[in-house]
Structure 1
Amino acid sequence: MTDTATGLRLALADNLGSAGWREAVMTVPRELFLGQVVYRADGDRIDRWVPVRRAEMSPNDWLSLVYADQTWVTQVGGVLAKDAPEVVIGQPSSSSTLPSLVVLMLEAAGIDEGDKVLEIGTGTGYSTALMCARLGDKAVTSIEYDPEVAAAAERAISAAGYAPTCVVGDGLNGYAANAAYDRVISTCSVRVIPLPWLWQVRSGGTITTPMWGWMGGVAFAHLTVSDDGTASGRFRSEDLCFMTARAHLAPPRPPLITGLGQARLSRIDPAVLRNDTALWVAQLAAPQAQCSWGTDTTILVDVSTGSRADTRPDSAGGWVVHQHGPLRLWDAVEEAILIWQDAGSPHQSEFGLTIGTDRQRVWLGEPDGPGWQLPA
């Protein structure tokens, strides 16, 4: 089985095609980080998960699963795969991300020999071990929110022969004891950049993280910290996201009620929000809102203020929008979409983000271009 695992690691490293991380991928045994059980999705239901047990597979079949370039969910709704009954209903809360995406994140962060790294979200510990293999144990600090996930990761990291600084705690606070860092890399998505990350990175260092908002829009941020303590950078071209930091998840949404408030014709086709970048732009304009779609309606709800907006086709043509509450959600979304369309409907990579101690501003084109504030 050892020879089989070695061959599969070599094949995985070759398939990933990363010169900088090839040796680390060849060295780190991913099977240690998946434990004895993982989840697979059960058919077409996105909330139904079935455990896949190593004991019920041949050794070679299990290793083939381990070294597939695939994400394997290891916790659903707080239930670790090893503790799962036959079926678990819920949303994934921890996973071993597909290796190609792990390596993409490491490359996007520009991590190289000599760097001191803070990883937000240890997860299974596989990416932590890859960094240890390349940078050395002392260069890597990793923080995990969930104590059970953290304990399993630390056991796996130790079994693989590495000893980074592993911390159980809220990664949104960073880990000041080992600062300053050259790189902060987050394996969870955030709505805004936590200020402790900014404070714990040296001048010239970087912060790399996927970002996610309550409408579901995503972007991939890579920021450089300046001498004055601010940070700025453009979003990257890759469309990726990870599980969201638990403190940044959207609140429960109330029942959807449509047709409330004042009505007018919309200046944009609501279907544009089906476009990933358009959804990101809409989210910038109404960051507290959540978005839902019906058969012929688009609905926005802001839980904090009770504001609502819904659009539907108008019998005379076009789309009618109803808005209710203190915030005119569709007005804000509509204006942002029109600005984006006037600029040629560019991808998120044509946007950038500048953060300081008092505000975080997303801008289009250049830092002095049209912009929107992220929520405090």
Structure 2
Amino acid sequence: MASEPGIETAAAGLRRQLADLLEKDRRLLSPQWRAAVESVPRHAFIPRFYREGDAPGVTAWEPVTPEGVGQEEWLRLVYSDETWMTQFDGQDVDWTDPKPISNAAPTSSSTLPSLVVRMLEDLDVHEGMNVLEIGTGTGYSTALMCHRLGDENVTSIETDEGVARRARKALTTCGYHPRLLVGDGRAGYLDGARYDRLIATCGFRNIPPAWLEQVLPGGVILTTLRGWLRSLGLVKLTLTRDSASGWFSEDGPSFMIARQQDAPESFGMVPDPEDGTTRKATYGPDVLTSSGPGFLAQLAAPDARFFSMPVEGGAISTFVLDSVTDSFAVLAPTDNGWQVRQGGPRRLWDAVESSVAIWEEYGSPSTAAFGVTASRDAQVVWLGNPNGPQWPLPS
């Protein structure tokens, strides 16, 4: 195994290669962020991690350590443009004897560098700006910001104590000393306000009101909005005195949802076969998983989730259940399409179909045609302009 100086020399070369790749792909645009990428040792922040296995069937994750795959391969993977998982189901990994993991949900990761850098470039920071980061994670993006802006201008909040502890250790080892906090990122950090920029590396169902209070007028909030069906995407908002407004990006990333806003364990009550009223469906369940229609479905049914299963030993039906209002829609195949059976306070499939129809009427645009306006009183997603069709975000 190579000596420690040998590791650092190899890592420095790999960082330059990574910066070259990100620059070529137009993710890395400024010399200041390139200097950060070339300087911050990602391997210090993910000394061990998991990658997805390639065996068919259930998704399984394989541990990656210098001892397990060899130091050269470990370093190569660390500096590849990939997301690596570092925690599952909110539980710390026993790295003294790491095992493959299956039937588990990733709850912390090191995001692929191209996305990290793209978001930092989108944040449009300048010297002396004060930045609040929601979701410290491994601390890698925190370190990039410290390198660019100085430790005294970076505050980062992490909800998981174990994740925060490891990030703090890695940052300190690398010589970075930002303000690090453990808590609910939705509350921000009032004592450090007001901030010129706020960046979130986990998904939220809405814009937390505290952020609107703590970011300066003219400042920027960069976050991912998502729901229980899917991610809506990355949105960049500019603050005014009373509200924040801005647009979704063209190809929004998907981040893990903030733990405080995760979906309830129960999907809700499965309706009895005789419940609800039935009609012919204009759209089938594929709209839930298609990129454009799925975006509209999330807006139209923000508290819903879905699953599919055979009904009474027959054809597979798709159940769309809203555990907040106890509304439901059940889609079943027919000889010439689909039928839907709906019940509860909200007609879920009516709302989905109406929203998809509006999207088609506007020419089936990308997410970049949608924007958000958030104030203390209301938060809406709109299409085309703030006076166009609107969908409220969940409060």
Equivalent position SS for 1:187: strand
1:251 matched residue in structure 2 = 264
Distance 1:339 1:247, change over 3 A: same
Distance 1:269 1:55, change over 3 A: closer
Q: 1:41 aligns with which of 44, 49, 52?
A: 52
Q: CA deviation at 1:73?
A: 0.5
Question: What is the alpha-carbon distance in structure 1 between the residues aligned to residue 271 and residue 65 of structure 2?
Answer: 44
Amino acid at match of 2:233: A
Question: What is the alpha-carbon distance in structure 2 between the residues aligned to residue 181 and residue 75 of structure 1?
Answer: 30
Equivalent position SS for 2:61: strand
Q: 2:136 aligns with which of 105, 111, 122?
A: 122
Question: What is the alpha-carbon distance in structure 1 between the residues aligned to residue 58 and residue 157 of structure 2?
Answer: 28
Deviations 1:82-130, CA, capped at 9 Å, x for gaps: 4464133311111111111110111122223332110000000000000
Question: What is the alpha-carbon distance in structure 2 between the residues aligned to residue 269 and residue 59 of structure 1?
Answer: 50
Amino acid at match of 2:51: R
Question: What is the alpha-carbon distance in structure 1 between the residues aligned to residue 202 and residue 354 of structure 2?
Answer: 30
Q: CA deviation at 1:238?
A: 2.0
Amino acid at match of 1:278: P
Deviations 1:115-152, CA, capped at 9 Å, x for gaps: 21100000000000000111111111001000010010
Amino acid at match of 2:282: R
Question: What is the alpha-carbon distance in structure 1 between the residues aligned to residue 303 and residue 215 of structure 2?
Answer: 29
CA contact (8 A) 2:251 2:367 kept: no
Matched, 1:6 2:15: no
CA contact (8 A) 1:39 1:81 kept: no
Distance 1:68 1:46, change over 3 A: farther
1:79 matched residue in structure 2 = 91
1:103 matched residue in structure 2 = 117
Q: CA deviation at 1:186?
A: 0.2
Matched, 1:28 2:40: yes
TM-score by length of 2: 0.90
Q: 1:59 aligns with which of 62, 66, 71?
A: 71
Equivalent position SS for 2:204: coil
Question: What is the alpha-carbon distance in structure 1 between the residues aligned to residue 262 and residue 61 of structure 2?
Answer: 21
Deviations 1:272-325, CA, capped at 9 Å, x for gaps: 33322211111211111113345754331011222110222323x232110122
Question: What is the alpha-carbon distance in structure 2 between the residues aligned to residue 171 and residue 372 of structure 1?
Answer: 25
Range moving further from structure 2, 174-183 or 287-296: 287-296
CA contact (8 A) 1:40 1:72 kept: yes
Deviations 1:178-225, CA, capped at 9 Å, x for gaps: 111111000001111111111110000010011111111422111000
Q: CA deviation at 1:80?
A: 2.8
CA contact (8 A) 1:184 1:206 kept: yes
Matched, 1:321 2:323: no
1:334 matched residue in structure 2 = 353
Q: What is the number of residues matched between the two proteins? A: 373
Q: CA deviation at 1:268?
A: 3.0
Q: CA deviation at 1:256?
A: 4.9
Distance 1:58 1:320, change over 3 A: closer
Matches within 5 A, 1:184-223: 184-223=198-237
CA contact (8 A) 2:231 2:255 kept: no
Distance 1:265 1:57, change over 3 A: closer
CA contact (8 A) 2:14 2:76 kept: yes
Matched, 1:375 2:394: yes
Amino acid at match of 1:174: G
Matches within 5 A, 1:147-162: 147-162=161-176
Distance 1:100 1:165, change over 3 A: same
1:239 matched residue in structure 2 = 252
Question: What is the alpha-carbon distance in structure 1 between the residues aligned to residue 339 and residue 83 of structure 2?
Answer: 42
Extract unaligned runs of 5+ from structure 2: 1-5, 310-314
Matches within 5 A, 1:350-365: 350-365=369-384
Q: 1:274 aligns with which of 281, 286, 289?
A: 289
1:300 matched residue in structure 2 = 320
CA contact (8 A) 1:38 1:81 kept: no
CA contact (8 A) 1:47 1:91 kept: no
CA contact (8 A) 2:219 2:238 kept: yes
